[in-house]
Structure 1
Amino acid sequence: MTAEEAVQKFLEWMATEKRASPLTIDAYRADLARFLGFMSEHLDGLPDMAGLARVSLRDFRAWLAQEQARSAASRMRQSTPDRAARTRARRVSAVRSFFRYLARRQGVENPAIALLATPRSKKPLPRPLSVTDAKAVPEDIAELAHTPMARQRDGALFLLLYGCGLRISEALNLNIADLGTLISSGVLRICGKGNKERLVPVLPAVQQALEAWRKQHPSPAPESPLFPGVRGGRLQAGVAQKAMREWRALAGLPDHVTPHALRHSFATHLMEGGADLRIIQELLGHASLSTTQRYTLADEARLLDVWSRAHPRAQKTAQPREGTRD
C-alpha cells in the first residue's frame, strides 16, 4: 500500500466510523497532502508504509518549521498570528491522527509523532452583540429581503439562531418534520457536531415565528428543508451570512457581527441573566465545559473594560486638583 492509498483509507475511516464532517475531511485531505508533499521532497521520494514508520522527529520538526515559515509569509499579507497558529495546530492534529490510524489499523507504528509539540494558539474570546442589537437582527434582516417568502423565512431563521443559540449549520439542516417535537413538547431535536443530538427548548416568540413560517412554507413535504433557498433546495449558509453582512453595514456594526455571533449572544445574555454554566453547556451542545467557560472570561473582560473607562482611579492621565499648579 502506498502512502497516498493509506491516506485515502484513513479519510474513508474518518467519514464512516468517526462520522467526521465533510469540512473536516476536506481539511485533513489538504493537510495530509501538504505533509506528504514535503516528505517527498525532504526524503527524496514519497515514503511507502515502511518509510512512514521511519520518519524521525527531526523530519517532523523540519516539516513543522516549513509550515511556520509559510505561515509567517502569509501573515505578512493577511493572516493573524493566532489564526496561523491554529492552522498549524490543525495540521499537526491531522498528521497525528493519521499516524494513530496507521498504528491501530495498519500495523505501522511511529513513536516519533507523539514527541512532536502542537503549536499553541490563543483562543479568541466570544464577541456577542448587545441585547438591543441582537433583538433587532431578525426583524431588520427580514426587512432587507426581496420577497415576502424570504422576509418570513429570514425573520424566523435569525430569531431561531438567537433564541436557541444554534449554529447556522444546525438551523439550516432542520426539516419540516423536525417541527413535530416543537408542536408536541416545545423543544427542538438538534443534530450537532459529530451527529450528537440534543434537545433545545424554544421560547414562545420563536415558536410562533416558526409556526407562522410553516404556514407560508412553499412545500408541504415533511422531508423538505425547513429553510429553503429560492430554488427549493436547502438554504446555503453563505446566503444567510450575506444577508447579515448587508445588515451590519447599514447598522454600522463591526465585522465580527455574523450569524455565529448570535450564538455567542445567546450564551452571554443567558449568563448575564444568571443561568448556570452547565445549563448553557447543554443548550449549546459543547462537549467540554472549558469551551463554555470562555463566556465567563469574555464577561470578565467586558467588566474590566467598563471599569477601566469609568472608574476615576483608572484614568491614565490624572487630573490636577483645584488649588494646585500644573
Structure 2
Amino acid sequence: MNNKLQNKMIEDMQLCDYSDRTQKSYSRAVRQLSNFWHVPAEEIAEQQVREYFLYCKNDQGWSASTMRIAYSGIKFFYTHTLPMDWETLRLLKIKRLTTPPTVLSINEVRLILGAARTPQARAFLATVYSCGLRLQEALNLTVHDICKERMTLHVRQGKGGKDRYIPLPKSTYNLLVEYWKTHRNKALLFPALGRDGKKGRTATTPMARSSVQQMMRRILKELPKIKKHATLHTLRHSYATHLIEAGVNLRIVQQYLGHSSLETTMIYLHVTDMGNSDAAARINRLMGGLDDA
C-alpha cells in the first residue's frame, strides 16, 4: 500500500487503542496479501482476497491462530482504512481453539529458577511467575510500580490498555531489590544492560524480548527432566493454575491475570484435577451409608 494509506491504517489502529504488537501484526498481514499478488493493497479485488485466504488455509495449512491474525488485519484494513463492502469479509469464520495450556508443576518452576545463571534472569523469571505477568508487562515494569507498604505491583497498560494491581510476594520483592542494586536504574526494573553488562544504570529501554525468550530456551535445554514444551508464557499459565489449586477464587484469579472475560480464566480448570477430586470427596461424604439402607 502507499505511504498515505499505511500511515492512515496505523492511525486508525491507534485510535482503536491497539497495542504496538497488534499494529505490527495487522500491518504485516496486509503487506503479505499485497506481496502475494504483487500489487498494492488498494488495487486488490475481493476475489483475490478470497483466493488468498483459501490458499493460506488449504495449500499452506495455516493454523487457526495464524489465520485469525491474517483475517483480522486484512478485515481491519478493508473495513476501516479503505472501506469495502465485501461479502468475503463477512463470510469468513475462524474457530477459536481452546486447547488446555501447558502448565509446569511448582517443583518444575523451582528447577527453572534454580537454573537461572544471573541475578537478572532469576529476578525476571521469578517476577513473571509469581505475579502471572505477560512478557511485555514484565519488561515495562518500573521502580514506581512497586508499593512496599501494600506489597502490590502496579501493571500499567496491560492487554487492552488496562491497568491492574497484583499482590507482590515478599520473596519476589526481595529478589527485585537485590537485583536493582546491581544496576540502580532510576526508572526501569529490567533495563537493557548492554553488551558489557554495565549500561543498566543509564539505560532508557528495557531488556529485549528476544533476549528474554532466548534465556528461557537456554534454561530449558539444561533441564532434560522437564519434558513439556514450555515457553516464558507457560510461567503465567502455571501461576494461574497454582492459584486455583491453592483455593484462590476464580474471579480473583481473573482480576490478577487481567482477563476481560471469566470464560478465558476458566480454561485453567481443565488442567487441574483439584476441583474433581474435591467434588468426588464431597459426593462420597454426602452419599455415604446408602449401601446400608
Report the TM range for the smaller structure's normalisation.
0.7 to 0.9
Q: Give secondary structure in 2 for the equivalent of 1:295.
A: helix
Matching residue within 209, 214, 218 for 1:242: 214
CA gap of 1:67–1:184, structure 2 versus 1, over 3 A, is: same
Q: What is the distance in 2 between the residues matched to 1:128 and 1:255?
A: 8
1:21 to 4, 19, 22: 19
Counterpart CA distance in 1 for 2:142 and 2:119 is 16
Which residue number in structure 1 is paired with residue 50 of structure 2?
Answer: 61
Q: Which of the residues 116, 133, 140 maps onto 1:166?
A: 133
User: Which residue in 2 is equivalent to 1:319?
Assistant: none
Q: Stretches of 4+ moved more than 3 A in 1?
A: 2-5, 45-48, 224-228, 300-304
Deviations 1:90-141 (A, max 9, x none): 1111121222214xxx6x4414244322232533321111111113332331
Given candidates 155, 160, 163, the residue that maps to 2:122 is 155
Give the partner amino acid of 1:162: Y
**Residues 69 and 113 of structure 1, relative CA distance in 2, 3 Å threshold:** closer
In structure 2, what is the Cα distance between the partners aligned to 1:248 and 1:109?
47
Q: CA deviation at 1:287?
A: 1.8
Q: Is 2:197 aligned against 1:218?
A: no
Mapped partners of 1:46, 1:152: distance in 2:
49
CA distance in 1, matches of 2:176, 2:86: 53
Query: Is 1:284 aligned to 2:273, yes or no?
Result: no
Superposed counterparts of 1:82-97, under 5 Å: 84-97=63-76
* 1:86 match: secondary structure: helix
**Is the CA contact (8 Å cut-off) linking 2:33 and 2:41 kept in structure 1?**
no
More contact order relative to length (CA 8 Å, sep ≥ 6): 2
Among candidates 251, 258, 269, match of residue 223 of structure 2? 251
Residue identity over aligned pairs, in percent, reads 24
Gaps of 5+ in 1: 73-82, 146-150, 305-326
TM alignment of 1:125-274, pairs within 5 A: 125-141=100-116, 145=117, 151-179=118-146, 182-191=147-156, 192-214=158-180, 216-221=181-186, 223-229=187-193, 230=197, 231-232=199-200, 233=203, 234-252=206-224, 253-254=226-227, 256-274=229-247
Q: TM-score, normalised by structure 2?
A: 0.79
Query: In 2, Cα distance between the equivalents of 1:111 and 1:268?
Result: 43
Report if the CA contact (8 A) 1:174-1:227 is conserved: no
Shift of 1:200: 0.7
Which structure would you say has the larger Rg?
A: 1
Query: Does the C-alpha gap of structure 1 residues 303 and 258 become closer, same or farther in structure 2, counting only changes over 3 Å?
Result: farther
1: CA distance between counterparts of 2:123 and 2:95? Answer: 39
Counterpart code for 1:36: S
User: What TM-score do the two structures reach when normalised by structure 1?
Assistant: 0.72
Counterpart residue number, 1:115: 90
> Residues 298 and 4 of structure 1: is their aligned pair in 2 closer, same or farther, counting only changes over 3 Å?
farther
The AA in structure 1 aligned to 2:151 is: G
**Partner secondary structure for residue 188 of structure 1:** strand
Q: How many residues end up aligned between the 2 structures? A: 267
